[in-house]
Chain A
Amino acid sequence: MERIKLTIDGNPVEVEAGTTILEAAQKIGVHIPTLCYHPELRLEGACRICVVEVEGMRNLVASCVYPVANNMVVKTNSEAVRRARRTIVELLIANHPQDCLVCSRHGECELQDLSRQLGIRKVRFSGEKRDLALDESSYSVVRDPNKCILCGRCVRVCAETQSVSAIGMANRGSDSIVTTPFNLGLAEGPCVGCGQCINVCPVAALREKDDTERVWEALQDSKTHVVVQVAPAVRAALGEEFGLRAGSLVTGKLVTALRKLGFDQVFDTQFAADLTIMEEGHEFISRLQKRENLPLITSCSPGWVSYCERFYPDMLPHVSTCKSPQQMFGALAKTYYAQKAGINPAHIFSVSIMPCTAKKTEAARAEMQASGYRDVDAVITTRELANMIREAGIDFANLSEGEFDLPMGMSTGAGTIFGITGGVMEAALRTVAEMLDGQELPEVEFQQVRGFAGVREATVRIAGQDVRVAIANGLAQANRLLERIKAGEAEYHFIEIMGCPGGCIGGGGQPLSKDPDIRMKRATALYRQDMLKKVRKSHENPAVQELYRSFLGEPNGEKAHQLLHTHYHARSRY
């Protein structure tokens, strides 16, 4: 690779040819503000907030797209640059509803940050504020086009990372907006509710549907028995909201916080994850033995399930009939738990804390009422839980360590790693291998399925046969994998697909983060938790064993089918 030498703000820099000025500046710690730029997305060069002066060039250039050249002399902070930047930000502010005090992004907003960073104290322009309707059609994501600053990051993540393209730019000039086709709303299109667009939006134009009010109401009603389940990925990320280091594992504090908020029983989705492995493991073994409907594809990611229903309806017979852990838990909370605790299920309000916005839509699906009631009454994201903890005045960082309630709070290390791409596969292999081999695994960890590559594959030797597995994370990667299978270029027995990059730890309901290694840090926390667990295989979870003994009967048996399995529907994209 050719090396290029240039000067940025008087400092010599040497980088590879093809590097942008922005990247070169980052390398030496010079911070250039950006807006439409996102490190994981295609370059657009549209907002021009990142302009710099290049000696010998008449116009300022957008540093996020402009490549370096030998002997280039760059100034990132000249008078002309500062003036241009300020103008852009002032124009954005002039057209923006400035209701920061009551805005969901207050304190976490890139427009606020820019304004503060550039020291903007007054706006020279008077802009036209738009008064467009909110899109509240989706159970997962709310769009507020009035707050949109047209950076296009959501459009790109939805198309490039997720291959969904539910939203796009429409109109031109000052009428430009980001919207759904014909303004029909997210629910009328192919949107899968993954929330990746929320995670990249610099402002409050995209946010999760806020369900905290319904949870507060239930908590405050003394006649309602409120149970809560927490997904694995939440404990590896919630700490970030309270100033703890990224990758901090806050399981114990999380339990204590939930008790303080007033939840009657604090349970763990990981219990249901172990249960999922029992059901899905048996389903896999049965399909493998009958050579029927292979590959089996996992079904715990509702973003993926929605995507499959809309984009790959012909693959639906391959998708496991197992409900996701959230919904298995919900069905049991109002049956098994209600019976055991002697509580009328009509008085139970079941809440789940999820790293995921698609879970809100999943819980609202008409078929998710196996208990005779809505199985999961409210789903709130990691971010929404953080808001509730803040509102309740709880000093999270200094909480003592609590323990989950029994029996549905007991879980294994296999349940823990469900939150990471490859984790469901690994958890399933731990159980399937032991069941088929009939002897204890010499090594619990399946390193060959770990990692963050978009698509990964491995061959695992089980009971004298080669089991070929594949893993995809992010829907564009799932798309890539499925296209290869359809073209006959690859064949597998078992596939894990998670809708979000990195799996649930990178879900659309997780704390916003600019840390490029954030997914890795959260994953490391969960792998550490797995190692710390005494029991690391789902089939050895004593509470799950007891559940089968006293309530469900056999895995994949009649009762299990009625409560824990579901079916899917091909859906129109529009």
Chain B
Amino acid sequence: MEDRKCTGCNCQQGQDPRFEELAKVIEEYRDMEGALIMVLHKAQDIFGYLPEDVQKFVAQGLNLPLSEVYGVTTFYSYFSLKPRGKYRIAVCLGTACYVRGAAEIVSAIEKHLNIKVNDTSSDGRFTLEVSRCIGACGLAPVMTVNEDVYGRLTPDKIPEILNRYE
């Protein structure tokens, strides 16, 4: 484990038991094909998202350049580099939703939560994302909050819906 020793960065690896768990994952996958993607998946499960020190830890553990790890984590929308809220709001921007005013729905949410798309509200409750067509065109415009689907939205319905989530 020569190349996993501490390099003097100011990460939390020393104190945080989650890094031990991640180290085990790396050990398990390191020689497999496609190890990077699998390790990053597990890392996101462990940490909830993929902050800088986690990506550095993965790069070092798999002996890959950090630029390669960062290239992968920014390429797949599944990976998140920022902490995500308890509830994930996804507004559909498919064609049907778009023509029926999805953009205004996005603005209404942005205004209500005081965040931009791909951000998380300061209380950690909501992350706002946009998605491609989710196939509920009949209900356009549509959004999901975790597993719940809301259709035929108008901007004025937003505060009331979001207030249901604690």
Q: Which positions in A face B, CB cutoff 8 Å? A: 155, 159, 164-172, 180-182, 189-190, 572-574
Contact A171 B74 (CB under 8 A): yes
Please give, as numbers and ranges, the residues of chain B lying within 8 Å of A167 by CB-CB distance: 67
Contact A168 B70 (CB under 8 A): yes
Please give, as numbers and ranges, the residues of chain B lying within 8 Å of A171 by CB-CB distance: 74-75
| CB contact under 8 A between A182 and B52, given known A165-B67, A170-B70, A572-B9 | yes
Please give, as numbers and ranges, the residues of chain A lying within 8 Å of B74 by CB-CB distance: 170-172
Contact A572 B66 (CB under 8 A): no
CB < 8 Å: which of B7, B68, B77 contacts A168?
B68
| Listed residue (A167, A169, A172, A182) with the most chain B CB atoms within 10 angstroms of its CB | A182
Please give, as numbers and ranges, the residues of chain B lying within 8 Å of A166 by CB-CB distance: 67
Give the residues from 77 to 103 in chain B that come closer than 8 angstroms, CB to CB, to chain A: 77
Q: A163 — nearest CB in chain B belongs to which residue?
A: B65
Please give, as numbers and ranges, the residues of chain B lying within 8 Å of A189 by CB-CB distance: 66-67
Please give, as numbers and ranges, the residues of chain A lying within 8 Å of B67 by CB-CB distance: 155, 165-168, 180-181, 189
**B17 at the binding interface (Cβ < 8 Å):** no
| CB contact under 8 A between A573 and B68, given known A171-B75, A172-B74 | no
Report Cα–Cα, A330/B77, bound state, in Å.
51
Please give, as numbers and ranges, the residues of chain B lying within 8 Å of A572 by CB-CB distance: 7-9
Please give, as numbers and ranges, the residues of chain B lying within 8 Å of A155 by CB-CB distance: 67
| CB contact under 8 A between A168 and B75, given known A181-B55, A572-B8, A574-B56 | no
**B34 at the binding interface (Cβ < 8 Å):** no
| CB contact under 8 A between A182 and B70, given known A172-B75, A573-B7 | yes
Contact B9 A181 (CB under 8 A): no
Report Cα–Cα, A350/B131, bound state, in Å.
58
Contact A170 B9 (CB under 8 A): no
Q: Which 4 A-B residue pairs are closest in the complex by CB-CB distance?
A: A168-B67, A165-B65, A181-B70, A572-B7
Task: Add 6 more A-B contacts to A165-B65, A573-B7 (CB < 8 A).
Answer: A165-B66, A165-B67, A169-B71, A169-B75, A180-B67, A182-B52
| CB contact under 8 A between A181 and B66, given known A168-B71, A170-B71, A574-B56 | yes
The contact sample of 23 A-B pairs, CB cut-off 8 A, is: A164-B65, A165-B65, A166-B67, A167-B67, A168-B65, A168-B67, A168-B71, A169-B75, A170-B70, A170-B74, A171-B75, A172-B74, A181-B55, A181-B66, A181-B67, A181-B69, A182-B70, A189-B66, A189-B67, A573-B7, A573-B66, A574-B59, A574-B66
Please give, as numbers and ranges, the residues of chain A lying within 8 Å of B66 by CB-CB distance: 165, 181, 189, 573-574
Please give, as numbers and ranges, the residues of chain B lying within 8 Å of A168 by CB-CB distance: 65, 67-68, 70-71
Q: B2 — nearest CB in chain A belongs to which residue?
A: A314
A145 nearest CB across to chain B (Å): 14
Please give, as numbers and ranges, the residues of chain A lying within 8 Å of B75 by CB-CB distance: 169-172
Contact B65 A159 (CB under 8 A): yes
| CB contact under 8 A between A574 and B71, given known A165-B65, A168-B65, A181-B55 | no
Report Cα–Cα, A534/B68, bound state, in Å.
52
Report Cα–Cα, A181/B59, bound state, in Å.
11
Please give, as numbers and ranges, the residues of chain B lying within 8 Å of A164 by CB-CB distance: 65
Q: B53 — nearest CB in chain A belongs to which residue?
A: A574
Q: B51 — nearest CB in chain A belongs to which residue?
A: A182
Please give, as numbers and ranges, the residues of chain A lying within 8 Å of B7 by CB-CB distance: 572-574
Report Cα–Cα, A169/B73, bound state, in Å.
11
B40 nearest CB across to chain A (Å): 14
A158 nearest CB across to chain B (Å): 8
Give the residues from 46 to 66 in chain B that come closer than 8 angstroms, CB to CB, to chain A: 52, 55-56, 59, 65-66
Please give, as numbers and ranges, the residues of chain A lying within 8 Å of B70 by CB-CB distance: 168, 170, 181-182
| CB contact under 8 A between A165 and B52, given known A171-B74, A574-B9 | no
B47 nearest CB across to chain A (Å): 16
Report Cα–Cα, A170/B70, bound state, in Å.
7
Report Cα–Cα, A436/B52, bound state, in Å.
54
Instruction: Fill in one digit per residue for B1-20: 1 if any A CB lies within 8 Å of its CB, else 0.
Output: 00000011100000000000
| Listed residue (B67, B70, B71, B77) with the most chain A CB atoms within 10 angstroms of its CB | B67
| Listed residue (B8, B9, B68, B69) with the most chain A CB atoms within 10 angstroms of its CB | B68
Q: A167 — nearest CB in chain B belongs to which residue?
A: B67
Report Cα–Cα, A189/B71, bound state, in Å.
15
B61 nearest CB across to chain A (Å): 13
Q: B56 — nearest CB in chain A belongs to which residue?
A: A574
A189 nearest CB across to chain B (Å): 7
Q: A177 — nearest CB in chain B belongs to which residue?
A: B74
Report Cα–Cα, A155/B70, bound state, in Å.
13
B27 nearest CB across to chain A (Å): 21
B22 nearest CB across to chain A (Å): 17
| Listed residue (A159, A170, A181, A190) with the most chain B CB atoms within 10 angstroms of its CB | A181
Please give, as numbers and ranges, the residues of chain A lying within 8 Å of B68 by CB-CB distance: 165, 168
A95 nearest CB across to chain B (Å): 19
Please give, as numbers and ranges, the residues of chain A lying within 8 Å of B59 by CB-CB distance: 574
Q: B69 — nearest CB in chain A belongs to which residue?
A: A181
A317 nearest CB across to chain B (Å): 17
Please give, as numbers and ranges, the residues of chain B lying within 8 Å of A574 by CB-CB distance: 7, 9, 56, 59, 66
Please give, as numbers and ranges, the residues of chain A lying within 8 Å of B55 by CB-CB distance: 181
| Listed residue (A155, A169, A189) with the most chain B CB atoms within 10 angstroms of its CB | A169
Report Cα–Cα, A190/B65, bound state, in Å.
9
Report Cα–Cα, A155/B67, bound state, in Å.
10
Report Cα–Cα, A278/B70, bound state, in Å.
46
Report Cα–Cα, A142/B44, bound state, in Å.
33
